Amino acid sequence: MFVFLDFEASSLAKRGYPIEVAWVFEDGTSEAHLIRPAPGWEDWSADAEAIHRISRPLLDAEGVAHDVVARRMVETLTGHDLLASAPSWDGKWLSALLRAAGYPKHTLRLRDTEAAQRETATALLKDVVAAEALAAAVENILVLTGVRDRDGPPAHRALPDAVEERQRWLAVRDEATQRAAVQP
């Protein structure tokens, strides 16, 4: 099953670390966790805090221990297809969280949400659109749903951003389903 995942971080610097994670399964089931920093996680950016509005004192008071969050992720997400809109950044935070909790950094792997969008549209259209026109039809759907989806900037909170990624995938799936239904 697809799972749409998003992190927020202390900063975008080399020593930045994950401070919030959320995921949404394709069926809509979701979880979100503030992450209490691991020992040695000290880098903090006031600019990043201004964007995500999560303070270090809030993490210390209400965050869940980093190793508990990592364990929950491994237990819940293993075996699923994990997707992120920025897999290089989110992968960095995922890797840091897993390593800090004693897991190998590739225990869980992310890939780009757009790849899942393409795969879904292709699977729905491949039997009704000529092979030579399939790539263009899929691209058209991605562009069309992307244009429709321009509601403003991301929330920069993990759960709303993960929900938005799922919504984008659903829009692609629904558009491809509709097009497949009207093909001769």
Q: What is the chain's mean pLDDT, rounded?
A: 93
Determine the pLDDT at residue 156.
85
Which domains are present in the chain? 2-111 (3.30.420.10), 113-182 (no CATH)
Q: For residues 93, 20, 166 and 71, what is the CA-based torsion angle, rounded to 10 degrees?
A: 70
Half-sphere CA count of 164, side-chain side, radius 13 A: 17
Determine the pLDDT at residue 61.
95
Determine the pLDDT at residue 146.
80
| Extended beta strands in 54-108, E state | 64-65, 81-84
> Which residue type does 20 have?
E
- Identify the band that residue 16 occupies on the pLDDT scale cut at 50, 70 and 90: very high
Question: Does residue 148 carry a pLDDT above 80?
Answer: no
Q: What is the pLDDT of residues 155-174, one digit of tens each?
A: 789 999 999 999 999 999 99
Q: What global pTM score does this model have?
A: 0.91
Contact assessment for residue 35 and residue 19, using Cβ atoms and an 8 Å cutoff: yes
Longest CA–CA span in the chain (Å) reads: 61
